[in-house]
Amino acid sequence: MAKAEPLIATDLDPTRTIWTDEYMRWDPSDYEGLKKTKVSSNKIWLPDLFFYNNADQLYHKFLKDTIVKVDFSGEVLWASPVNFRSFCLLDVRFFPFDVQLCEMKFGPWSHDGNELVINGSGDTSAFTANGEWDMSRIVALNNVEYYPDDPGVPYTDVTFKIYFHRSVCDVAIVTGKIRDGRQKELFGFE
């Protein structure tokens, strides 16, 4: 039986977003060799990234109110821990050996693909198992969409497909005899 429940509540530590801002470039020799600096994210242009399948009641602009690193080439690095919560369809047909897929889609809200191109990549090394689920893999799909209300204009987004499997230690198979002498396997949980 499949059922929609908030399966994922992920703390990404840190979530990294990198972009190039042509207006943030400088010549280090004009600033005593300064090649990098940190500034408030509220003082610079930020991409209007939107988490499309947000399961929280309120939407938070997660790039705001943080510190970003800027280097002289105009590369801006925003890295901060963020909690993203999305709904995932649970499929427990193969319990306790089930694999769950959760998708998290990010893209600009008001910029088309001529103005802002979104690309993503995923890394499972920063994932910490919670005792019930282990992350099997993460796949980033970089998408370009065309919508009928704006013909010929591309819109970009990235969808992260995150695969989880149940931790082996969560399931114990207990064998017991029923009164009539037949054996039956019972599933127990720790």
Residue 164 in this model has a pLDDT that exceeds 60? yes
Strand, coil or helix: what is 145?
strand
Give the domain CATH number at 13: 2.70.170.10
Which of 1-10, 94-103, 175-184 comes out lowest in average pLDDT? Answer: 1-10
Q: Does residue 1 carry a pLDDT above 70?
A: no
Q: Which of 68, 73, 75, 69 has the alpha carbon at shortest distance from 28?
A: 73
Q: Taking the complete model, does pTM exceed 0.95, yes or no?
A: no
Q: In the predicted model, is pLDDT for residue 180 greater than 70?
A: no
User: How buried is residue 84: exposed, middle or buried, by Cβ count under 10 Å (0-12/13-18/19+)?
Assistant: buried
Counted domains in the chain: 1
Cα 85 from chain centroid (whole Å): 9
Q: Which of 44-58, 80-94, 148-162 has the highest mean pLDDT?
A: 148-162
Confidence at residue 184, expressed as pLDDT on a 0 to 100 scale: 45
User: Residues 38, 68: contact at Cβ < 8 Å?
Assistant: yes
The mean pLDDT of the chain is 75
Tell me: the pLDDT tens digits for 138-153? 888 889 999 898 899 9
pLDDT digits (tens, 9 = 90+) for 28-65: 999 999 999 999 988 988 887 888 877 766 656 665 67
Cα first-last separation, the chain: 23
Give the tens place of pLDDT for each residue, 95-124.
Answer: 777 777 888 888 888 888 888 787 777 766
**Which residue range is the domain that position 39 belongs to?**
2-189
> Does residue 85 surpass a pLDDT of 80?
no
Residue 81 three-state SS: strand
pLDDT reported for residue 129: 66
Q: What does the pLDDT read at residue 114?
A: 85
